[in-house]
Structure 1
Amino acid sequence: MAKQILTTVILISALALGGCVTVATTGVVEGAKIASEERSINSASSDARIQLRINDKLLKHSTSLFTNVDLTVTEGRVLLTGNVPKAADRVKAVELVWQVPGVKQVMNELQVKEGGGVSGYASDTWLITKLRSQMILAKDIISINYNLDVVNGVVYMMGIAQDQAELDRVKNLVRNTSGVKDLVSYVRLKSNLPNPATAKK
């Protein structure tokens, strides 16, 4: 969805019409939370490189696959979302992802169906904007640690929660938001992450 030019235009239009004040406000709050991100700078940089390499492979394979497949990469874990026209496209996307060094896990949530059209993209774009704004404004949620994507009203979530209580708050926020049809969470708890110092020994 993030790669669709149409959704970008719709998002900009939506913000211009009614979201400017919210974005200005949430931008300040988000800036204060950035220092709390659980991923290290090295981990975030590695994830960015992995995402670039996957996108390159998707684009070289076909423009259609590159356009239809959205990526979220967190600590080498890759979440694939979006709509593809054929089941073979789901298989090919996973195959290409595993060819990239540094990939540790692949969650394939690609849906085999034609795109939802202008209204579908507009609805998903508005929903993800609303969810991100709500999470940023929530004082008891460190929103920078969560990545969201929305496909056909289904919310896919990755990231690192401070504890189970925070994760429950995020899930409740998402599920109680109008327009959300379902929630698929791949969020991990901070307490379950490997200790970097221990891992190096």
Structure 2
Amino acid sequence: MTIIRMALVALLASLLYGCATPVLLAGAAGGGTMAAHDRRTAGSQIDDQVIEMKAFARMQKDAALAKSENAHINTVSYNGVLLLTGEARTAELRRRAEEYVVNIPKVRKVHNEIRVAEPAKIGSRSRDSWITTKVKTKLLANKAIDGTRIKVVTESGTVYLMGLITRGEANLATSIASETSGVKRIVRAFEYLD
């Protein structure tokens, strides 16, 4: 598959399934480059992908959560830390989403950032994808930080930053994200090395 095709698939997936996917655009051109810079082991990277798939699958078994008019939930895992973002119409649906994922093998912690609100429309998701792309591009362009080590997720203008990094790197990444147009709030879900 060509790089352009991979990028188009990633963009389409981001629009249909969530706002975390645009990071694939940055990785599509670099192939294994991002994996080589990642501080997680190869096994942890695979575990994170499995966690994301299992979390999504478990929530889809719940008829109410599976309906797009009731919930739009994204699952992102980094080093066994699972981030849930999106919207659920009720606090009960928000609670149930977390309940389904908390006992997935190798999940060490769950950040439940699901908002109780009407599920976001495609326009909002597209804006979030664009914000993620802008933040990730700025991180990758900054020579003072290795942007491949930071996962960026945007939901309703809130940027979530994840990764295994130092506090100095976290502060720089936060500063870069905060200077990006469209960012309303930043949530740091980092694990610190120092």
Q: Same fold by TM (over 0.5)?
A: yes
Match status 1:7 vs 2:15: yes
Alignment of 1:80-91 (within 5 A): 80-91=84-95
Partner of 2:182: 179
Deviation digits for residues 19-68 of structure 1 (CA, Å, limit 9, x no counterpart): xxxx78x935x865542210001111112222221121111113237961
User: How much is the aligned-residue C-alpha RMSD, in angstroms?
Assistant: 2.9
Relative to structure 1, the CA distance from residue 33 to residue 98 in structure 2 (aligned partners, 3 Å threshold; closer, same or farther) is: closer
Structure 2 counterpart of 1:101, from 92, 99, 105? 105
**Residues of 2 paired with 1:174 and 1:148: CA distance?**
9
SS in 1 for 2:180: coil
Asked if structure 1 preserves the Cα contact closer than 8 Å seen for 2:44 and 2:79, the reply is: yes
> 1:111 deviation in Å?
0.4
Does the 8 Å contact 1:72/1:147 carry over to 2?
no
* Cα distance change on mapping 1:118 and 1:42 into 2, 3 Å: closer
Is the aligned partner of 1:140 residue 2:144?
yes
Superposed CA deviations along residues 71-93 of structure 1, whole A, max 9, x for unmatched, are: 11112111110011111111001
Counterpart contact for 2:71–2:89, Cα < 8 Å: no
User: Within 5 A, what are the aligned runs for 1:158-177?
Assistant: 158-161=162-165, 163-177=166-180
- Quick one: distance in 1 between partners of 2:96 and 2:89? 12
3-state SS of paired residue (2:43): helix
Kindly indicate which of the two structures has a greater share of residues assigned to helix: 1
- The structure with more radius of gyration: 1
Q: Tell me the secondary structure at the aligned position of residue 151 of structure 2.
A: strand
Q: What is the distance in 1 between the residues matched to 2:148 and 2:89?
A: 33
Q: 1:82 to 1:142 in 2, by over 3 A?
A: same
Mapped to 2, the partners of 1:173 and 1:6 lie a distance apart of 22
Displacement of 1:118: 3.3
The runs of at least 4 aligned residues of structure 1 exceeding 3 Å deviation read: 30-34
**Structure 1: which 5+ runs fail to align?**
16-22, 192-201
Distance 1:32 1:46 in 2: 19
**How much identity, in percent, do the aligned residues show?**
25
Aligned mates of 1:112, 1:157 — CA distance in 2:
21
The 1:179–1:152 alpha-carbon spacing in structure 2 relative to 1, beyond 3 Å, is same
8 Å Cα contact 2:75/2:84 also seen in 1: yes
Quick one: distance in 1 between partners of 2:144 and 2:33?
A: 13
SS in 1 for 2:104: coil
1:121 to 115, 125, 132: 125
Q: Across the two proteins, how many residue pairs are aligned to each other?
A: 176
User: Runs of 5+ in structure 2 lacking a partner?
Assistant: 1-9
